[in-house]
Structure 1
Amino acid sequence: MQASTLFTNGAIHTMDPERPRAEALAVDAAGRIMAVGSVAELKPLAGANTKTVDLSGRFVMPGVFDFHLHVISGMTTRLRSFAIDAGDDFAAILDHVRAAAAGKREGDWLTGSAYGARALVDIEGLGLDAKRQLDEASGGRPVLLIHGSLHGAFANEAALARAGIDAATPDPAGGRIVRIGGEATGLLEENAMWMVDGAIPVLGDGEIVDVARAAVRYFNSVGVTGFVDAMSTPEMIAAFRALDDADDLSTWAGFTLSASRTCSSWSPEAEALLARRGQVCGPHMVAENAKIFLDGVPSLRTAAMLDPYPDTGGHGEMYLSSDELLAEMAAFDRQGVGVKVHAVGDAAVVRVLDAVERVRAENGDGGPWHHIAHGQYIPHKDISRMKRLRVIADLNPPMWFVNQASLAHERVVGRERYATVWPIRTMLEAGVTMALGSDWMTIFPELDPWQALAGLLMRRDPSGKLEGVHGLHEAITLDQALPLMTRNGAAGMGLGDRTGRLAPGLSADFIVLDRDLYAVAPEQIARTKVLSTVFEGREVYAAPA
């Protein structure tokens, strides 16, 4: 049988233990890999109609599989919101608001993302005056500013009014409207932020499809050929099904259904979708997981910690008791649905593992894999349980290396505790299954797998601009890191027999890079650019010349 396309003269890193290195790939007309090997070995597969692509010695690897991101909210923010740098103070944010308001009609919404610790300190210090300054800067237009954690926001008076929030409005379950003397300051924590977000006009069906299409194009440009959305709605799945039906979906798309009431996007429709999840997906889609939120985030002191926060003495929050978590996870498990549990703090991680232990005892060991999403603080004594219980460590966001966001978290929990974050090397040595995610776009406005990869190798700031290190003893090698961002994510979503490696019978999903990752220092890896992205054997992105 002749190949449809023959890719030759590449430095191909397959992520396949059977043949980790190769020079050439033969791909059939359906976009599947026929053979992997040397140029000489694959030459007989070239026929009169075979297209030959010379890779010119470039570094080739499977496409990136991002195991945790927020596709529609992230791309909507990228397309429609003004950018806030995590290091901006409140005065700088007001300048951004004024600039954004200049191009808007009276009454139009303004949204900005994503402010960090510096602005939050300013806002808290100004008290009630902060939202009034925001009203003035926006010309009375409603404004919602999103915190970098995606677990908090700041709204002006006009936005609060649109959401119907006043002095008499009670805090929602799992959320807090911050007040002074009974008056809302505009700061909103956890589920309270969705009260205002819900007042913003929603995207129509056609608009969601357009946003989904733009997201796919963006993902391809940074080398992503597979992703998992971490909190998915029926509307989102319908949008991607429309793309898939139109042969316009050039990534594998995994969805984590908002089927738990702990999700801000929960709906009866999302819960009902579980029963027909196999029917609503196109050929490049999978929706075999559900999402549960168990705790919050350290920056807002809502991540559930075993030891108290040094400044408040509190331990954070958990939104489900042990019995409630068990009941939800056991019900999903019985349906064959894996659960991705948001658990950041060590107390939350322990509660998840305790629940999975009981689920395995009740339902048997043969159920689906479950995921600990984030898992920033994992007690060392519980690491072995993750392997035994078949729990995937969903590693994100990339704050295992020094950056502005990690330093903000370090100030909250203390340097000694922050040095224990993401014990990745220890988990690898214990045989824990891990997959890498970005959590885009909660912390960083750009999806940058290469900075995250360099951070795994260094645990320092690859740019050299920021001093310090986060747990250097947990740094890993490139050989250890690359599977976390390719084959492990694919396997974790049940797609390991279709993508994630470059091997015969699998989809020809790969990327061509501008540098040999094994020939440069980690600092240089962080600057990697994607030259070409290939999905099912066809180029779906080419870098501008």
Structure 2
Amino acid sequence: MAVTDGTVSWIGEDRPARALHPDADIVDLAGAFVAPAFVDTHVHTTATGLALIGLDLGSAASLAECLDRVRRYAADHADAVLWGQNWDETAWPEQRPPTTTELEDAAPGRALYLTRIDAHSAVCSAALRRAAGVNAASDAPVVADDHHAVRRAARAMLTSADRHRARVAALDLAASRGVVAVHECAGPDVSGREDLRELLDLNHGVEVRAYWGEAVRTADEARDLLAATGAHALGGDLFVDGSIGSHTAWLHEPYSDAAGHGLSYLDTDAIAAHLAACTEATIQAGFHVIGDAATSAVVEAIERVAADLGGPAVAGRGHRLEHLEMVTPEHAAVLGARGIVASVQPVFDAYWGGENGMYATRLGADRARALNPLALLASAGVSLALGSDSPVTPLDPWAGIRAAVHHRTAGSAISPRAAFAAATRGAWRAGGVRDGVAGTLVAGAPASYAVWDVDELVVSAPKDSVQRWSTDPRSRVPALPRLDDAARAPRCLRTVHRGVTVFAS
């Protein structure tokens, strides 16, 4: 492969390459595997960095261990706010989150903000509750508006230096995982305008496309908001509902393990107004959608806007839906016909799917089997893009591809070729890059690629096995590494974006 001024200028055999480019600087990769670099379409950059440099509770095996980690972290850090992430009570023998009282015992008088793994609820200390103006005497996790208030109060206690160090750590991690671009999903209830402005001002080799999740009602509002925030689009975590783990996803039928149908943050009228405003303003829109009632509301809104403004106008904007976990065939057909992009997180299924997983506990086994139906979406013509929702799941594209291929529900997996394309070509397309070459390695494409140390490039498997990787040159996807459970994960040696090395091991 020859690269000239950041663009792939030639692909072919070694001998003619050297003859055609006698003065080139030659890099011998010694048999390493080269592939298009990844794009992660759903990231919370500062929060990812805070998990990397701060208190990550994701591996805590029990409530007792979680509290012990909090106690030790508080003893070693004098920060104004102790920011922890990723606890998951469904994996603990106690089967419950920490209480406010227990946090006070672990770190008396300190401001503690500890988010659940899905980031849609949190436990926090009495001091932080008081600072946020929510009930300081409650022992229950905060959700919905109370959670947003607590997160704003905690965010205000972080210094600019804290945020900078976190962002650099997150983007450095992305580069080391073969990622050259991330889609930041920001918003007033997620990270705030100051955080987004600082992120977009950061000089780093990993490209950032910013999504701002705040609803508008007119095209002028949409243009003004885009200009005021510096975002590239008005979507991402624009919440229609919450999450299944926190019992805040909006459902048609009640939860199996709790009362209620979850929460609705936007009704169909508000969804349609935002979608119409962005369509008229030629701005990409999008929504955070998880529960089936939320999906129904979004689909109804899409059809309303298509009827008013025309199907081609809607399809031409590349509007997208984040997560999209509960989808019927009827929903999928509409989304495919209207050119909607699905930004999906296959690792959600790896974490919480299966007959005994969190989804089955929250929804019952029958509903749980239908979650994250990647094959259904693809077969309906919905463009797929893979993301992590980091720090909810790790910023690790190969893990996402593996999870998409080995979906826990029979019939919901997609092929390795489709999964890889969704993490490369599909991810660029989800960010509005539709030049036909981004995310590939062909002449004329941006020289954005990663070099990998892998054990094996082709799995020896039966012809009908989903583990057989595509080597069809027409797909523009090279041979892919073996990623079954017994295989060693690929190790990134170098990441290059538009000809510039952004990571080298």
Deviation at 1:202, TM superposition (A): 4.6
3-state SS, counterpart of residue 245 of structure 2: helix
Q: Does 1:374 align with 2:323?
A: yes
Deviation larger for 200-209 or 66-75: 200-209
Please, which of 78, 94, 111 is the counterpart of residue 52 of structure 2? 78
Q: Any idea what the Cα deviations from partners look like across 1:491-530, whole Å, max 9, x if unmatched?
A: 1111243731212222211111121443435224572221
1: CA distance, partners of 2:222 / 2:166? 20
- Tell me by how many angstroms 1:540 deviates: 2.0
**1:426 paired residue number:** 376
Looking at structure 1, the residues matched to 413 and 401 of structure 2 have their Cα atoms a distance apart, in angstroms, of: 11
Tell me whether 1:359 sits opposite 2:305 in the alignment.
Answer: yes
- 1:342-353 aligned within 5 A: 342-353=288-299
1:172 maps to which residue? none
Q: 1:153 to 1:425 in 2, by over 3 A?
A: same
Deviation at 1:87, TM superposition (A): 5.3
Partner of 1:142: 111
Tell me how far apart the structure 2 counterparts of residues 138 and 526 of structure 1 sit (CA, whole Å): 40
In 2, distance between residues paired with 1:269 and 1:101? 44
**Match among 190, 214, 228 for residue 144 of structure 2:** 190
Could you state the TM-score of these two structures normalised by the residue count of structure 1? Answer: 0.79
Q: Which residue number in structure 1 is paired with residue 209 of structure 2?
A: 254
Which of these residues, 90, 97, 122, is aligned with residue 70 of structure 2? 97
2:281 to 335, 347, 352: 335
- CA contact 1:343–1:375 (8 Å) conserved in 2: yes
Segment drifting more, 33-42 vs 412-421: 33-42
Q: Give the AA of the match of 1:356.
A: I
Q: 1:454 is matched with which residue?
A: 402
Task: Return the alpha-carbon distance in structure 1 between the equivalents of residues 159 and 100 of structure 2.
Answer: 30
Quick one: distance in 1 between partners of 2:488 and 2:222?
A: 38
Question: Shift of residue 451 of structure 1?
Answer: 1.9
2:33 maps to what in 1?
Answer: 59
CA deviations over 1:188-216 (Å, ceiling 9, x no partner): 01231222222233555565444433322
Once the 2 structures are TM-superposed, how far is the Cα of residue 235 of structure 1 from its aligned partner?
Answer: 3.2
Aligned to 1:439, the other structure's residue is in SS state: coil
Name the amino acid aligned to 1:184. Answer: S
Structure 1 residue 68 corresponds to structure 2 residue 68: no
> Helix, strand or coil for the counterpart of 2:61?
coil
Q: Matches of 1:398 and 1:437 in 2, distance apart?
A: 9
Contact 1:88–1:118 (Cα < 8 Å) also in 2: no
For the pair 1:522 / 2:501, whether they are aligned, the reply is: no
Q: Is the 8 A contact 1:101 1:139 kept in 2?
A: no
Q: Does the 8 Å CA contact 2:200/2:208 hold for their aligned counterparts? A: no
| Partner deviation per Cα, 1:377-420 (whole Å, 9 max, x = no partner) | 10122211111011111112622235589922321111221111
The one-letter code of the counterpart of 1:61 is A
Partner amino acid, structure 2, of 1:190 = A
SS at match of 2:235: strand
Q: Map 1:367-446 to 2 at 5 A.
A: 367=314, 368-396=317-345, 398-401=347-350, 407-442=357-392, 444=393, 446=394
Contact 2:186 2:196 in 1 (8 A): no
1:144-543 alignment to 2 at 5 Å? 144-166=113-135, 183-200=137-154, 201-203=156-158, 208-232=163-187, 233-243=192-202, 248-260=203-215, 272-275=224-227, 280=230, 287-291=232-236, 292-364=238-310, 365-367=312-314, 368-396=317-345, 398-401=347-350, 407-442=357-392, 444=393, 446-459=394-407, 470-497=408-435, 499-515=438-454, 516-519=456-459, 520-524=482-486, 527-543=489-505
RMSD across aligned positions (CA) = 2.8
Aligned equivalents of 2:92, 2:120: Cα separation in 1: 13
For 2:65, the aligned partner's letter is A
The amino acid of 2:337's aligned partner reads R
CA contact (8 A) 2:39 2:182 kept: yes
Query: What secondary structure is seen at the aligned counterpart in 1 of 2:27?
Result: strand
Structure 1 gap segments, 5+ residues each: 1-24, 168-182, 263-267, 281-285, 460-469
Report deviation, 1:336: 1.2
Q: What SS class does the counterpart of residue 512 from structure 1 fall into? A: strand
The 2-side partners of 1:161 and 1:512 are apart by: 50
The 1:240–1:496 alpha-carbon spacing in structure 2 relative to 1, beyond 3 Å, is farther
How many equivalent residue pairs? 469
Q: 1:108 aligns with which of 57, 69, 80?
A: 80
CA–CA distance in 2 between the matches of 1:74 and 1:402? 18
Distance 1:109 1:213, change over 3 A: closer
**Identical positions, percent:** 25
> Kindly tell me: are residues 525 and 419 of structure 1, through their superposed partners in 2, closer, same or farther at Cα, counting changes over 3 Å?
farther
Paired with 2:390 and 2:488, the residues of 1 have a C-alpha distance of 17
Q: Is the 8 Å Cα contact of residues 89 and 97 (structure 2) preserved in structure 1?
A: no
Q: TM-score when scaled to structure 2? A: 0.85
Shift of 1:350: 1.6
Distance in 1 separating the partners of 2:270 and 2:295: 15
SS at match of 2:26: strand
What does the per-residue CA deviation read over 1:131-159, in whole Å, with 9 as the maximum and x for residues that have no partner? Answer: 22211211321211110110000012222
